[in-house]
A and B are shown apart, each in its own frame.
Chain A
Amino acid sequence: MSNLVIVEHDNNEIVAATLHTITAAQQIGGDIDLLVAGENCQAVAESAAQITGVATVKVADNAIFAHQQAENLATLIVECAKDYSHVLVAATTFGKNVLPRASALLDMAQISEIVEVKSPDTFVRPIYAGNALATVQSADAIKMITVRTISFEAAAESGGSAAIEAISGGTDTGLSSWVSQAVSSNDRVDLSSAKIVVSGGRGMQNGENFSMLQSVADKLGAAVGASRAAVDSGFVPNEYQVGQTGKVIAPDLYIAVGISGAIQHLAGMKESKVIVAINNDSEAPIFQVADYGLVADLFEAVPELDAAL
């Protein structure tokens, strides 16, 4: 067996999700190589070579991969994949965008968002917003896999000494061009990797009220998240969204404030170690998954919590 893990990065740093993906590859077994495709991404390749358990880092440094758009990157993955039994990438918006394209070009099925490796050809993945877990066995020659990062520990970022190998390849399809990326406003603590998350829902009533949650979050070293309802209402931008179609997170502590707990929201946070719900509706479904529930007006409870910390 041999695994190729596609590194997610911004040409400077590796996105942490990649480290979790490498652990999934370790559980499959066999050699692990990394693919770094980008432009002026040597720093990424050098950090990648330090990650424990990696044999070779393949680097495709080419302007056609500057923003790692799916059309060009998929052609490179297709060329590299033929040497491997497994190709893995994190189930982030990056991985979800590119891997199905490469899979179809290879005529291989993709196994999306695995949460467990049962054997090299058998994996567990959530379906129906996590309300069911399917165990699936793949008959394909190359297993194309996206990995749900919360289900696998991060591989150690140091201790390795992989070889770095420059590669060419890939096609400039000219099909799409990158224009711009809006800078995230959620820059205090990274929501995907935070140990504590304080999330607000429709009950927050407006965007200004999220400053109450930010204050609590700052005291706890926490990130701020939101339900889809809060994002749809324009209280906070999309990158705050936790849920089936937003980020799937599993912090040590998740504090849900003014969130009713729709199935789609629970799908994004119910693996959290400890869940707190603060809501004035005692019938809200969020209380069914909460370890600690407080039935209270959030506009009284949150300032009180802030003062108590």
Chain B
Amino acid sequence: MKILVCVKRVLDPQVKARVKADGSGVDLANAKMTMNPFDENALEEALRLKEAGVAEELIVVSIGGGKTEETLRHGLAMGADRAIHVVTEEALEPLAIAKVLKSIVDTEAPGLVLAGKQAIDDDSNQTAQMLSALLGWSQSTFISELKIDGDSATTIREVDAGLETITIKMPTVVSVDLRLNEPRYVKLPDVMKAKRKPMDKIELDSLGLDTAHRLTTLEVIEPEPRAAGVIVNSVAELVDKLRNEAKVI
């Protein structure tokens, strides 16, 4: 079985997003970028499936501008066999991304597609579900456990009420949560090796898909900051403030 892992290049999760003064978006110039953390979990799971003999080949795919290659090289350094870079300078919406990924799936015919449950930049949480819909495949989202058994898989999903277990037919699209695994660290020799691994470049336009924007971003602003608080010196003072000033207890 082939596994396709979808990854996105995003602002480093430790960095606070800064909104541009003209309200057009978030300033990413010179910002530290990284692979979306959830996608690292997806890739780690794929690596473990390959190491367990469940999969033979592992492909990472990403869509974006020139620097997306760095994120894909990181995926290759983690252990993916090859990479596909769909090249576009435009920031596509999740539906368009799902269409692009579907065309890659149609060509590569993986038995399993893994993706992070959401990208930490636009927090949409849509792409995996949309891809699954376009393929007519099963889906399992926000998973913390995955067991593949022939033509079906059993997954544990992290839902609001706790943990839900479902079985899904293969092939399938699965979106992963952070507790699925602990992604491995990349070692220097792996980085060197990754430079020699194959990376296909596909121009977005060559796919002939409708990836037009459906949404127009009119403005991006920073939320109102909270008013500065006070430091209290004792539990007694805290309780007094909560009772008599804030009146919340």
Chain A residues at the B interface, C-beta cutoff of 8 Å: 69-71, 74, 92-94, 96-105, 107-113, 122, 126-140, 173-185, 192, 196, 220, 228, 231-232, 237-239, 244-245, 247, 252-253, 263-264, 270, 273-276, 282, 287, 289-296, 301, 304-305, 308-309
Contacts and interface: CB of A to CB of B under 8 A. Distances in A.
B161 A175 contact: no
B218 A135 contact: yes
Given A276-B238, A289-B226, A292-B238, A179 B246 contact: no
Given A136-B217, A244-B120, A176 B17 contact: no
Interface string B177-190: 11100000000000
B223 A273 contact: no
Say what secondary structure dominates the interface of chain A.
mixed
B239 A308 contact: yes
7 contacts: A98-B129, A110-B130, A128-B123, A177-B166, A239-B161, A245-B118, A245-B177
Nearest to A220: B249
Contacts of A71: 138-139
Contact of B139 (A101, A276, A305): A101
Contacts of B241: 292
Contacts of B142: 93, 96-97
A138 B214 contact: yes
Contacts of B98: 104
Given A129-B123, A245-B178, 17 more contacts: A71-B139, A92-B160, A93-B141, A96-B129, A103-B126, A108-B95, A110-B95, A112-B125, A133-B222, A136-B215, A181-B159, A252-B248, A253-B249, A291-B230, A292-B238, A292-B242, A294-B231
Contact of A139 (B140, B144, B215, B231): B215
B13 interface: yes
Contacts of A237: 162-163
A183 B165 CA distance: 12
Contacts of B21: none
B26 A127 contact: yes
A135 B167 contact: no
